[in-house]
Structures are given as C-alpha cells and as structure tokens.
Amino acid sequence: MEVVIQPDAGAIATLVADEIERLLAARPDAVLGLATGSSPLAIYDELVRRHEAGRISFARARAFMLDEYVGLPDAHPERYRNVIDREIAGRVDFAPGAVQGPDGNAEDLVGACAAYEQAIADAGGVDLQILGIGTDGHIAFNEPGSSLGSRTRIKTLTSQTRLDNARFFDDDVDAVPVHCVTQGLATIMSARHLVLVATGSAKAEAVHHLVEGSVSAMWPATIMQHHPRATVLVDPAAASRL
C-alpha cells in the first residue's frame, strides 16, 4: 500500500485527477468506480475542470457506484444516484446509461445485488476505484463486522454512520435510512487500482488502522493491505496518527 501525504484536499485531487487523466488517455473505455461522501468532491470538481478544458473525455468510459441507500424516494436529493449525477456524472460527457449504481428501491433487493455484481463483471471489472473512509473504518457501506469476502448485499447502517451522515439530512438522524445496498469488500478488492482519499482529524484513527493496524473485519478498510495496488492519499490531519 502506497501512502501519500499531501498538504490539502486540492493537492490530493490534482494527483487523483492526474491518474484518471492518464488512465483515460491510455484506455478511453476504462471503467471507473465512483464514491459518494464529501471526500471525493474535490476530485470530481477537478475532473470537471479538466473535461471543460478538453483534457478528459468520459464519452467511452463506464462507471459503477459503490453503494446506495434503501428506500429513499427516486427524486430524493441524498439518494446516492442523484448525488453522483449532481457531483460528477451529469457534469461531464458520460454516455446515457454508462454510470450504474446498485438499485436500493428494487422489489427484489437480493436479486438486484446479484445483477449488479454481474453488471460489473460483464463490464470487465473496475480499473480505478475511488474510495473515502468512514470514521469507523468503513469503505462503501461495509460497516465494522463486514465479511472480508463479501459481495454486493443489503447492510444495516451503524448508529455512528447514521449520525455522521445526518448532516446531509438536515441534521435529523431519524431521516437517515437504516438500510443500504453496498458493494462488498471482495467486490471492491476486485478493482485493479484502489485510490482512497481522507482528510481531516476525524479520519485519523481510521487511517491509522487502515495503514498500521491488523487486517480485521472490525476495521473493514484494512483489507486494502492485501491489495496489490492500493494508494492512500491523506492530508497531515488525517495522517496525524501514523
């Protein structure tokens, strides 16, 4: 695992955008893995800037989202599908249907999870997966205790994650869904390059476990220690316990 400490989120975003620009120049039909949360926002803004400057095209690329809440109305602004459309997919030139996410409102959620795994496999797998990390060490919505061999499935959110995410729901923790569908840890590990970004002191403990802790389902991100190509980009505050 390569750990890169950068002065701030802007510098991190530049490095990740460089990597994505290189990937898309070499393989315009590459498959990207997109994450929600605040951590990747600077990356998305940088990708949009480069797209507008004519440096990057997503026209032949595809993308898969990591996770989705269960039960939010289709038009809800915090539904991850809508977040991804707003923050990146709708701001660049992805072809219609090229960005897919797990369906959190399917009648048959178990079937929808299996279909999502198949869609990723049919696309040839993810080339570069962007990741954030939860304060409790979760990646996507793989909460502590998640099986290290898990695939896309339904999960229950922890109270900590619901509290952390209440800020997106007018600070009303009761409005945060209780369930989600998420790529599993084994699904994420199948991506060819993992790029995790974390900033701020609230992430310091999780980053400490990620980089220096034992691999354990109690700190799910630690599975990345087994990945042949994992890059962790952090600012000094997130790196403060390394």
Strands 31-34 and 128-131: parallel
The active-site residue out of 46, 67, 103, 117 is 67
- Minimal distance in Å, beta carbon 135 to ligand GLP? 7
The active-site residue out of 103, 117, 127, 138 is 138
Report the residue number, 39 or 146, with the smaller CB distance to ligand GLP: 39
- Minimal distance in Å, beta carbon 81 to ligand GLP? 13
The active-site residue out of 87, 117, 143, 235 is 143
Query: Is 136 annotated as catalytic?
Result: yes
User: For residues 184, 2, 48 and 24, what is the CA-based torsion angle, rounded to 10 degrees?
Assistant: -80
Report the residue number, 11 or 107, with the smaller CB distance to ligand GLP: 11
* Of 104, 136, 131, 109, residue with least CA distance to 188: 131
Report the residue number, 80 or 94, with the smaller CB distance to ligand GLP: 80
- Minimal distance in Å, beta carbon 95 to ligand GLP? 24
Rounded to 5 degrees, φ, ψ at 75 are -90, 0
Residue written as token pair 């390394």: 242
Strands 179-182 and 153-156: antiparallel
Residues in Cβ contact with 18 at an 8 Å cutoff, skipping those fewer than 6 apart: none
What is the spatial distance between Cα 19 and Cα 162, in angstroms, rounded to a whole number? 32
The active-site residue out of 68, 103, 117, 136 is 136
Report the residue number, 94 or 182, with the smaller CB distance to ligand GLP: 182
Amino acid 149 reads G
- Minimal distance in Å, beta carbon 44 to ligand GLP? 12
Q: Tell me which residues touch ligand GLP (CB under 6 A).
A: 35-39, 66-67, 132-134, 140-141, 161, 165
List the catalytic residues: 67, 136, 138, 143
